Amino acid sequence: MAAMYLRAGVWLGIVVSVVCGVAQSRLDSFFRDLLPPPMRELSHPVLPRQTRVGNYLHSEVQFPVPPPETPQSRQFSTTNAINDSQTVFTREMKELFNARRRLSRYDRVIARHAEEAGFDWRFVAALIFEESRFDHRRVSSAGASGLMQLMPFTAQLVGLKNIQDPHANIEAGVKYLSFLSRQFQDGRPRDRLALILASYVMGLGHVEDGQRIARLQGYDPDCWGESMELILPLLENPTYHSKTLYGYAQGREAVRYANAILERYDVYSQLVERDFSPEEVPAPSDSQAASAVAG
pLDDT of residue 289 exceeding 50? no
In which residue ranges of the chain is CATH 1.10.530.10 found? 104-182
Closest CA to 214 of 253, 261, 251, 258: 251
Q: pLDDT (tens digit, 9 = 90+) per residue, 149-180?
A: 998 888 888 888 888 899 999 999 999 999 99
Q: What is the dihedral of CA 189, 195, 199, 204, to 10 degrees?
A: -100
Which of helix, strand or coil describes residue 51?
strand
Nearest to 177 by CA among 127, 132, 137: 127
* pLDDT (tens digit per residue) in 237-256: 999 999 999 999 999 999 99
Q: Is the pLDDT of residue 125 over 90?
A: yes
3-state secondary structure at position 150: strand
Which option is the CATH number for 104-182: 1.10.530.10, 3.30.460.80, 2.60.40.10, 1.10.240.10?
1.10.530.10
- Catalytically annotated residue among 69, 92, 95, 131: 131
pLDDT at position 12 is 61
Three-class SS of residue 80?
helix
In whole angstroms, give the CA distance from residue 25 to residue 28.
5
Active site residue 131: yes
| pLDDT tens sequence across 8-65 | 655 565 555 555 554 444 434 433 443 334 433 333 333 333 333 333 233 344 455 5
For 9, the enclosing helix (H) or strand (E) is helix 2-34
